[in-house]
Structure 1
Amino acid sequence: MPLPCPSFRRSTPLFLLCCSILVPVAARAQGHTPEDVEAIEAMESQIARIQEQQLELQKDLMAMRRELAQHRAHLHLPRATAEETATREHAAHEAAESRQLARTGAKPAQLATTGHRHLPPGDVPAPVIGEETPTYANVVGHRDEDMVNRVADNNVGPHPRGSAGAQAAGALGDHGVFHVGPLTVILGGYFDTSAVLENRHVASGTFNYWQAMPFPQNANYHQNNFEGSPRYSRFSVMARGNINSYTTVSGFVETDFGAGAETTNPYESNAYVPRLRQAYLSYDDTRDGNHVLVGQAWSLLTPGRAGIIARQESLPETIESSMLAGQTWTRQWQARFVHDMMHHRLWLGLSIENPATIYDTTGFANNNGTVTLPNGGTATIGANGTGLTESSTIYSDEIAPDVIGKVAWDPSWGHYEAEGIVRFPHDRVFANGSGHNNTAIAGGGGASAVLPVIPHKVEIHLAGLAGFGLGRYGSVLLPDVTLDAQGKPKPLPDAQATAGIIAHPTPLIDVYGYYGMQRSGRSSFSSGGTAYGYGNPMSSNEGCEVEMSPLACTASIRSVQEFTVGAWWRFLKGRYGTVEVGTQLAYSRLQTWKGIGGAPSTSMSQIFFDFRYLPFQ
């Protein structure tokens, strides 16, 4: 039978060690006895341990290189050339091979016929002719940027598992990775089926839409609801090319089935349509520390785990696909430039991003983005989609992109970020025979941190954002602005925050608990006996508490809070990928601004379940 050793470089000590274990077992495997099956499982466990050890060695190598560079700079010594470095590493490699030969008893001739060539640091060893899959080093050490991504020396590092929203594109080992000419293609994603049981009927599935939480006036308040779906199965692909040993260009696209077309229904085909989650191209130069990203990706405001690196966002591990009330995020078009310095410890980022203002027009007559004002004029805040956009959605008028800046710091313990944003809500008012445009200034700032209380075992996550006109950047999607009596945009105060603790008691189990909150201020006026604006104390809340009451229930949201706990168990894990099961308990509470009839509140309790197969992890 063929040699069962994985496709590590055949001249490496790791290959020899693997073969010393695998070859005797392969000779017995033809009988397919239970002992053989156990031996194969033991081999897979041994491979996983070897891969973990290799990653640790790569971490040490990166740290030593940084320390060497610092010492050279301090002593004003010239930087070693690539040839000198390669010569030193060649000697070290030969010494390591000699030690491995002494341990394994292999003959030098076994190494001489492999065609191994030594490359300078940062270059990728070319696969041995005939190998169809890249090695672990090809994938994890494929370029400097990947090493920064995976061994960020902050005791936080990358997300511990490729799951819930924080999945790194690509895999460990050779799963889902192949070469097309000079390009590397990396597959990612998972097959997912989830369900929710809740004590209120909110027809949003496992994506919480808190604004639709019913009050006792609504019959849905008094009904339980169960819904299950596989629509959040996720698929991604990345194509990447090396320009040289430290510069790469890549493209990434990610999709799921979280969108609903006008023909979608739950009664027959459940034909939910694919939606665009992310699609961007990036350029990375790890020698000069410059990184450019253009396309649709997670907003720069989204908290991260290591540096300012795409696909390493710090997101809750929840089954709930809306993640968490108070979570700061969007996925939108952007043009981002990031510069890192101090050996990838200090990161500076600037991004211009697609604006989309959420208007509250409570009390106003709003006809597809044309709002009638109390003085008889009209304010145009947007227009219905046309062409290839959604015809039932009002697309807001915008004069400029949102501008976001961020600084990230990775010391030896923890990851820390601070960010700021400026926005420009814009509309046009026509009154008294003439028209004019209005532009308001909105924005704010925030910070986040990942604290590795017990590195790689227990983490605390903290994040917050506050300012004016920032409602759309929180999971609850509270309004950004309302209108004043003259029709000018009036940014609303907004605050959003999350806190969580995540534990990894074993390599197969994750346990988490989160608290999240988003809160909105109010701005209003009254004219001619009519209450206008958000949170107007003259608005009627009289009908909110009585089922089927004919009275009004305006109920402008003041705050939404969520408490949730959950766990994931990876009960199958091997070269075939990972199969995991998760469950989550969530309690949400919504409070409103006081109006006529009081300040009603409502709540919802939920139980989530999930089965997920990650073939590339």
Structure 2
Amino acid sequence: MTIKTSLLGSAALGVICALSMVGAADAAAKHKASGEPSLAEQVKQLQATVESLEQTVQAQAAAQQQAQATTAQQLQDAQARADAATAAAKSAQAKLDMQIQQIPGTVQSTVQSTVQASLPKPGNVKITMGGFAAAESVYRSKQNVSDIGSNFSKIPYENNPLARLDESRFTARQSRLSVLVQGDVNPTTHAAFYGEFDFLGAAQTANSNESNSYNPRIRHVYGTVDWDDIGVHLLAGQNWSLTTMNGKGITPRNEVIPATIEAQYAVGFVWQRTPQIRIVKDLMDKQLWLAASLENSQTTFGAAPTGVSATAAGVTANTSAAGIGLLANVNNFSYNQVPDAVVKAAFEPDIGGSRPLHVEAFGVFRQFYDRVTYATGNALGLPAQITNKTTEGSGFGGGLTWTVVPKILDVQASGLTGKGIGRYGSGQLPDIIPGTDGSLRPIKETMYLVGATLHATPTLDLYTYWGQEKQQATGVTQIGTTFFGYGNPNANLAACLVEGGACSPDTKQESQINFGLWDRFYQGKFGNLRIGLQYSHIELEAFSGLNGVRPKTNDDMFFTSFRYYPSF
């Protein structure tokens, strides 16, 4: 570029500026004239706007800085919370680890607390009262001189005036009281006490003259312990003998007892109520039961138990003695050195989801014991001495109950056969007969009872029983012109057919049939009332003697009963 050109450009620029200034002045004048703001004012306004924008930007920047600071604080707080949560988790894990280590002890403590809570508290037992009040009567075609319980083996033969006298009695003595106390030692161990009493005791002062005062009598008094976890059951005290048929397992208070009003039940019924100790084991979900018991022993004799029974000449057997101390001195008691032993098995198979059949078998072992004196020159030619004699007896029996039609028909059968088992039958035939040498010889016997019960209506039961007890001649022998033994065919029994004749025949068999009913005609919240009727026919037959003379006798009996069973 030349200087000339620069000068020309500068001049032109100056002209332009001058013109601009003139134009601006003119414009300002025009704006002023028109009332519009001047350019300076517009510039000021623009400057104010810019300043306002700058303040807004600054405020936004400050807010952004504050938000950033808040976010940072929130991040710090979140991190602190996360750290605290991590620490809490570690602490909880540590506690959990410790609890896991303590679980065995805690479980044991919990179990112990549960067991302690399950133990019965003082007084936490169940008491059940039972029994009934009875108003009953008996009529016999031949005088038995007995109350509601007959003496089957003492029905009089024709030589006895009692055979020509009938008998009628009213009685309340079979009224009964019972109490059952039950408690749980723990969930699988149960204890119980049972007592049952009637008024068929007859002390020397008991009579029917004015105030019929008869004393209470023990029927049952025993305790039981049941261990469910091992299936073992213990009974100790006085109860039905283990020979008595059961209807459910081998458990107390489930015995199958004839439904008779007759307190001696029925001929052929196998039973006793006697002190004992019994152990029972159940198996196969209680389908199979095994049991053993030791029971109080006593012996019945084929001759009057006078204490001294003569046998062969010069030989005497001392078989019993009158009671001393707490045994009544008006009664004789046999010498028994060991208890009777009974073992039993019962089977109740599941049939169609129920157990309608109960089958059992048992064995009994007995021992008889006496003191024998051999005088000098005795008929047996034995050395003079005094010695003890021991003889064994035994028997095998069984029974069954069968629900033929549920709630309608039940049948039963039971029996026992062996030697020396007479005391186990209702007929009370003798166990033994003294032999010519003074030893006690067990008498062979077979007894049985069959029966049926028809549940005609929900309140009416009809029953029938047929039973027999039959013995064999035992120890029959002859020394010189004298005959000995039970059932001696050489006995002179002609006097048994003449009233007042001296005759004591040996009973060969007893047979009896029973028919009866029980009607529960009232059942309500106060208890129930029952009416019972029974007819019984019994026959006694002695062994034949000389000339085939065979004494026989029979008795027809009628019973009534009105019983009230209160609700306790």
Which interval holds the TM-score relative to the shorter structure? 0.7 to 0.9
Correspondences of 1:212-231 after superposition (within 5 Å): 212-231=154-173
Q: Distance in 1 between matches of 2:136 and 2:482?
A: 45
Report the alpha carbon displacement of residue 243 of structure 1 after superposing the two structures with TM: 0.5
Report the alpha carbon displacement of residue 273 of structure 1 after superposing the two structures with TM: 0.7
Q: Distance in 1 between matches of 2:122 and 2:546?
A: 67
1:182 to 101, 108, 124: 124
Report the alpha carbon displacement of residue 529 of structure 1 after superposing the two structures with TM: 3.4
Q: Distance in 2 between matches of 1:403 and 1:234?
A: 30
Contact 2:356–2:404 (CA<8 Å) still a contact in 1? no
Report the alpha carbon displacement of residue 583 of structure 1 after superposing the two structures with TM: 0.1
1:545 alignment partner in structure 2? 497
Contact 2:311–2:484 (CA<8 Å) still a contact in 1? no
Report the alpha carbon displacement of residue 180 of structure 1 after superposing the two structures with TM: 7.7
Q: Does 1:247 align with 2:189?
A: yes
Please list the CA deviations of residues 124-160 of structure 1 after superposition, one character each: whole Å capped at 9, or x if unmatched. 9x9xxxxxxxxxxxxxxxxxxxxxxxxxxxxxxxxxx
Report the alpha carbon displacement of residue 419 of structure 1 after superposing the two structures with TM: 0.5
Q: TM-score, normalised by structure 2?
A: 0.75
1:203 alignment partner in structure 2? 145
Q: Name the CA shift for 1:223/1:361 in 2 (closer, same or farther; >3 Å).
A: closer
1:486 alignment partner in structure 2? 437
Q: Does 1:534 align with 2:497?
A: no
Please list the CA deviations of residues 409-460 of structure 1 after superposition, one character each: whole Å capped at 9, or x if unmatched. 1113311110111111111212144222211111110110001110122001
Q: Does 1:415 align with 2:415?
A: no
Q: Distance in 2 between matches of 1:547 and 1:429?
A: 37
Correspondences of 1:451-600 after superposition (within 5 Å): 451-523=402-474, 524-548=476-500, 550=501, 552-596=502-546, 598-600=549-551
1:300 to 225, 242, 245: 242
Q: Distance in 2 between matches of 1:418 and 1:360?
A: 28
Q: Distance in 1 between matches of 2:324 and 2:480?
A: 36
Q: Distance in 1 between matches of 2:252 and 2:490?
A: 47
Q: Distance in 1 between matches of 2:498 and 2:313?
A: 35
Please list the CA deviations of residues 300-350 of structure 1 after superposition, one character each: whole Å capped at 9, or x if unmatched. 000010000101100110101100001000000111000001111110000
2:398 to 412, 428, 447: 447
Matched AA of 2:514: T
Contact 2:311–2:435 (CA<8 Å) still a contact in 1? no
- 1:273 is paired with a residue whose SS is coil
Q: Does 1:402 align with 2:332?
A: no
2:264 to 303, 307, 322: 322
1:379 to 311, 317, 321: 317
Report the alpha carbon displacement of residue 527 of structure 1 after superposing the two structures with TM: 3.1
- 1:544 is paired with a residue whose SS is helix
- 2:200 is paired with a residue whose SS is strand
Matched AA of 1:319: I
Q: Does 1:233 align with 2:168?
A: no
Contact 1:540–1:554 (CA<8 Å) still a contact in 2? no
2:64 alignment partner in structure 1? none
Q: Distance in 2 between matches of 1:371 and 1:483?
A: 7
Correspondences of 1:167-178 after superposition (within 5 Å): none
- 1:478 is paired with a residue whose SS is coil
Contact 2:315–2:436 (CA<8 Å) still a contact in 1? no
Q: Does 1:388 align with 2:339?
A: no
Q: Per residue, is there more helix in 1 or in 2?
A: 2
Matched AA of 2:165: Q
Contact 2:295–2:341 (CA<8 Å) still a contact in 1? yes
- 1:452 is paired with a residue whose SS is strand
Q: Does 1:611 align with 2:562?
A: yes
- 1:440 is paired with a residue whose SS is strand
Q: Write out the 4+ residue segments of structure 1 that deviate beyond 4 Å after TM superposition.
A: none
Q: Distance in 2 between matches of 1:474 and 1:451?
A: 22
Q: Distance in 1 between matches of 2:481 and 2:150?
A: 36
Q: Does 1:342 align with 2:280?
A: no
Q: Distance in 2 between matches of 1:388 and 1:342?
A: 45
Matched AA of 2:513: F
Give the superposed CA RMSD: 1.9
Matched AA of 1:263: T
Please list the CA deviations of residues 341-372 of structure 1 after superposition, one character each: whole Å capped at 9, or x if unmatched. 1111110000011110112237xxx6x42233
Q: Distance in 1 between matches of 2:391 and 2:297?
A: 13
The gaps in structure 1 that reach 5 residues or longer are 1-82, 84-118, 127-178
Q: Distance in 2 between matches of 1:240 and 1:556?
A: 48
Report the alpha carbon displacement of residue 287 of structure 1 after superposing the two structures with TM: 2.1
- 1:506 is paired with a residue whose SS is coil
Contact 1:347–1:408 (CA<8 Å) still a contact in 2? yes
Q: Distance in 2 between matches of 1:435 and 1:545?
A: 41
Q: Distance in 1 between matches of 2:468 and 2:302?
A: 20
Correspondences of 1:29-178 after superposition (within 5 Å): none
Matched AA of 1:605: D
Matched AA of 1:561: S
Report the alpha carbon displacement of residue 399 of structure 1 after superposing the two structures with TM: 1.9
- 1:612 is paired with a residue whose SS is strand
Contact 2:477–2:483 (CA<8 Å) still a contact in 1? yes
Q: Name the CA shift for 1:488/1:238 in 2 (closer, same or farther; >3 Å).
A: same
- 1:383 is paired with a residue whose SS is strand
Matched AA of 1:533: G
Matched AA of 2:541: Q
- 2:199 is paired with a residue whose SS is strand
2:373 alignment partner in structure 1? 430
- 1:543 is paired with a residue whose SS is helix
Which deviates further from its counterpart, 234-243 or 313-322? 234-243
Q: Distance in 2 between matches of 1:195 and 1:339?
A: 42
Contact 1:189–1:616 (CA<8 Å) still a contact in 2? no
- 2:187 is paired with a residue whose SS is coil
The gaps in structure 2 that reach 5 residues or longer are 1-106, 108-113, 350-354, 375-382
Q: Distance in 2 between matches of 1:272 and 1:255?
A: 13
Contact 1:240–1:248 (CA<8 Å) still a contact in 2? yes
Contact 2:238–2:274 (CA<8 Å) still a contact in 1? yes
Contact 1:568–1:583 (CA<8 Å) still a contact in 2? yes
Contact 2:309–2:434 (CA<8 Å) still a contact in 1? no
Matched AA of 1:587: H
Indicate the structure (1 or 2) with the bigger Cα radius of gyration.
Answer: 2
Q: TM-score, normalised by structure 1?
A: 0.69
Matched AA of 2:338: A
Matched AA of 1:575: K
1:265 alignment partner in structure 2? 207
1:28 alignment partner in structure 2? none
Task: State the identity as a percent.
Answer: 32
Matched AA of 2:494: E
Q: Distance in 2 between matches of 1:249 and 1:515?
A: 38
Which deviates further from its counterpart, 483-492 or 213-222? 213-222
